[in-house]
Homo-oligomer: A and B are copies of this chain.
Amino acid sequence: MVTKQAAELRALTEGRGNAFDPDCPTRVVLDRIGDKWTVLVIGALVDGPRRFTALRQHIGGVAPKVLTQTLRAMERDGLLTRTVYAQVPPRVDYALTDLGASLGGPIAVLTDWAELNVAKILAARDEFVAQEA
């Protein structure tokens, strides 16, 4: 614990993290971004706030439990806000914070690459399978 805090402090005081240091908190950020649902939630919220069920419908194939986990983690990390209205039936709005919205750029770059290179990756995969056989 002490060493971890020291590493975080060092990384922060140096101004920049080093993702290759296992104790560097940048790893934490990469883990969060690495979660595919986080990426899709950011994409689903760039247009504005959405409710829980709307998110579920917009992001195909996500189970409610997993969506809840993702949203809570993102709220904890300051990427979005969760607003509960005391109504029945309940209403909960999710909206990106400035920090969360600022992630949209890097994610767009990534999804752009993905769109452009899906074919190459699938081709490599097919070829590899063919070689194995």
Which residues in A have some Cβ–Cβ distance to B below 8 Å? Answer: 1-2, 5-6, 8-13, 16-17, 19-23, 25-36, 39-40, 42-44, 46-48, 58-61, 75-79, 96, 98-99, 101-125, 127-128
Residue from the list B5, B17, B76, B98 in contact with A128, Cβ < 8 A = B76
Q: Chain A interface secondary structure, helix, strand, loop or mixed?
A: helix
Residue from the list B2, B19, B124, B127 in contact with A99, Cβ < 8 A = B124
Which chain B positions have C-beta within 8 A of A107? 9, 110
Q: How far is the CB of A120 from chain B (nearest CB, A)?
A: 6
Q: Which residue of B lies closest to A115 (CB)?
A: B17
User: Which of A26, A102, A107, A120 counts the most chain B CB atoms within 10 A?
Assistant: A107
